[in-house]
Amino acid sequence: MFEEQGVVRRPFYGGFGLIAAGAFQPVFNAFKMLHQLGEERLAADSDHVLVTRRTDGALVIALWNYVAPGETGSPATITLRLPQQTRSARVLRLDAEHGDVGGEYSRMGSPKYPTPAQLEVLIKASVLPAAEELAIAGERVSVTLPPNGLATVEVQSGETLRTNVK
């Protein structure tokens, strides 16, 4: 292991790493979410969607709203057309409000050396929240992502899954 910036003297300094002062960095949570993707990649007609199927038959779909560094972005809504016999769809989110310690760190004023109480808050903020059930309307679900948001949608169906993403 090496650190290009020398020995790290403070926990949140903007360098490499998956964990800082016990708090998961957003990239750690992104890896955790993407690890749930399936083994088989399915076709999708969007540059912001990756559709996969797991061996248990569930679809796991990654959605993102990437904004290049230095640019501003706006929320994006992605609508997925689901198989007819879909029983449930659940979304797991990663953004400044969900599982991203950076959002909470900024809200507390970005202290150079967080107090033990602040570290406890940051550690809690770094944990991914539980997946939320999505409302299915007309065999479709919509997910709105803030700028630089990532989501995974897990779809359970009663039939052999087909994908048709729009």
In a domain, 14, yes or no: no
In a domain, 1, yes or no: no
Over 60: is that where the pLDDT of 35 sits? yes
In a domain, 6, yes or no: no
How far is 102 from 26, CA to CA, in rounded Å? 8
Over 50: is that where the pLDDT of 162 sits? no
- pTM equals 0.80
In a domain, 72, yes or no: yes
Q: Look over the chain and give the mean of its residue pLDDT values, rounded to a whole number.
A: 84
* Contacts of 119-124 spanning 24+ positions with Cβ under 8 A: 119/11, 119/21, 119/22, 119/23, 122/21, 122/23, 123/21, 123/22, 123/23
Instruction: Please report which confidence band the pLDDT of residue 62 belongs to, taking 50, 70 and 90 as the band edges.
Output: very high
In a domain, 10, yes or no: no
Over 90: is that where the pLDDT of 140 sits? yes
Instruction: Please report which confidence band the pLDDT of residue 49 belongs to, taking 50, 70 and 90 as the band edges.
Output: very high
Give the count of domains, the chain: 1
Determine the pLDDT at residue 14.
57
Determine the pLDDT at residue 144.
96
Instruction: Please report which confidence band the pLDDT of residue 157 belongs to, taking 50, 70 and 90 as the band edges.
Output: confident
The two structure tokens encoding residue 148: 């630089």
CATH number of the CATH domain containing 76: 2.60.40.1500
**Structural domain span for residue 152:** 19-165
In a domain, 12, yes or no: no
Instruction: Please report which confidence band the pLDDT of residue 25 belongs to, taking 50, 70 and 90 as the band edges.
Output: confident
DSSP string across 19-56: EETTEEPHHHHHHHHHTTS-SEEE--S-TTEEEEE-TT
Over 80: is that where the pLDDT of 11 sits? no
In a domain, 52, yes or no: yes
Pick from 88, 89, 95, 90: which is nearest to 128 by CA? 95
DSSP-based three-state secondary structure for 82? coil
How far is 61 from 54, CA to CA, in rounded Å? 10
- Give the up-direction half-sphere exposure of residue 13: CA atoms within 13 A in the CB hemisphere: 14
Count other C-beta atoms under 10 Å from residue 7's C-beta. Answer: 5
Over 70: is that where the pLDDT of 22 sits? no
Cross-strand partners of 133: 90
Instruction: Please report which confidence band the pLDDT of residue 101 belongs to, taking 50, 70 and 90 as the band edges.
Output: confident
Determine the pLDDT at residue 166.
41
Biggest CA–CA distance in the chain, Å, is 55
In a domain, 7, yes or no: no
Count other C-beta atoms under 10 Å from residue 15's C-beta. Answer: 11
